[in-house]
Amino acid sequence: MRKLAEVLSTEEFEMIFDHLNAAVAVVEKDGSFFAWNSAFEPFKKIMRNAFPKNLTEMHWQEIFLLDEDTPTLCDCFLLPASNARFILIAEPVTSDDSASAYQIQKLHKQVKLFKVESEFSKKLAHNKHIELESVITQAKEVSETDALTFILNRRAIINELQSEVLRAERYNTMLSISIIDVDHFKSINDSFGHPIGDVVLQQVAHRLRDGIRHPDVAGRYGGEEFLIILPNSDIHAASEQAARLGKIMREKPALVKEHVIQVTLSIGIAQLKIGKDTWETLLNRADNAMYEAKNKGRDCFVVAE
Q: Give whichever of 10-14, 57-61, 232-236 has the largest mean pLDDT.
A: 232-236
Cα-based torsion angle of the residue sequence 7, 11, 16, 22 in order, rounded to the nearest 10 degrees: 120
> Lowest mean pLDDT: which of 81-90, 155-164, 195-204, 249-258?
81-90
Output the CATH code of domain 2-94.
3.30.450.20
Q: Does residue 256 contact residue 196 with C-beta atoms inside 8 Å?
A: yes
Mean pLDDT within 183-207: 95
- Mean model confidence pLDDT for the chain: 84
100 pLDDT band, cuts 50/70/90, is: low
Q: At 74, which helix (H) or strand (E)?
A: strand 71-80
Task: Sort 154 into a burial class: Cβ within 10 Å, 0-12 / 13-18 / 19+.
Answer: middle
Q: Which residues of 169-179 are buried (b: 16+ CB within 10 A; e: fewer)?
A: eeeeebbbbbb
CA atoms within 13 A on the CB side of 21: 7
Q: Is 224 a catalytic residue?
A: yes
Q: For residue 286, what are the contacts with CB-CB under 8 A and spacing of at least 6?
A: 177, 178, 179, 268, 269, 270, 304
Q: State residue 98's pLDDT score.
A: 43
Task: Sort 1 into a burial class: Cβ within 10 Å, 0-12 / 13-18 / 19+.
Answer: exposed
CATH 3.30.380.10 assigned to 154-303: no
Q: At 90, which helix (H) or strand (E)?
A: strand 86-92
> Lowest mean pLDDT: which of 59-73, 256-270, 291-305?
59-73
188 pLDDT band, cuts 50/70/90, is: very high
218 pLDDT band, cuts 50/70/90, is: very high
- Under the phi-then-psi rule, with left for phi > 0, alpha for psi from -120 to 50, and beta for the rest, what region is 150? left
Given the residues 6, 224, 280, 305, the one annotated as active site: 224
Q: State residue 83's pLDDT score.
A: 81
2 pLDDT band, cuts 50/70/90, is: low
- Under the phi-then-psi rule, with left for phi > 0, alpha for psi from -120 to 50, and beta for the rest, what region is 86? beta
Q: For residue 168, what are the contacts with CB-CB under 8 A and spacing of at least 6?
A: 174, 175, 231, 272, 274
